[in-house]
Amino acid sequence: MTLEELLSLCVEQDASDLHLVPGVAPYLRVHGDLAPVAGAEPLSGEEVAALAEALVGDHGRSALAKTGIADGALSSAGARFRYNVARRQGELSVALRRLEDSFQSLEQLGLPERLSELCELESGLVMVAGPTGSGKSTTLATLLDRINRERGGHLITIEDPIEYLHTPQRCLINQRQVGTDVPDFHTALVAALRQDPDVILV
Q: Are 98 and 81 in contact (CB under 8 A)?
A: yes
Read off the pLDDT of residues 18-35 as tens digits, 9 standing for 90 and up.
Answer: 999 999 999 999 999 999
Q: Averaged over 57-82, what is the pLDDT?
A: 86
Whole-structure pTM value:
0.76
Residue 67: what pLDDT? 86
Say if strands 199-201 and 153-159 run parallel, antiparallel, or are unpaired: parallel
Which alpha helices (DSSP H) does the chain contain, by range?
Answer: 3-12, 45-67, 136-150, 185-192
The confidence band for 121, taking pLDDT boundaries of 50, 70 and 90, is: very high
* pLDDT tens by residue, 170-201: 999 999 999 889 999 999 999 999 999 999 99
Question: What confidence score (pLDDT) does residue 132 get?
Answer: 78
Question: Residue range 75-95: average pLDDT?
Answer: 92
* pLDDT the model gives residue 58: 75
Residue-level pLDDT at 179: 83
Q: Is the preceding omega at residue 161 within 30 degrees of 0, hence cis?
A: yes
pLDDT at 94 over 80: yes
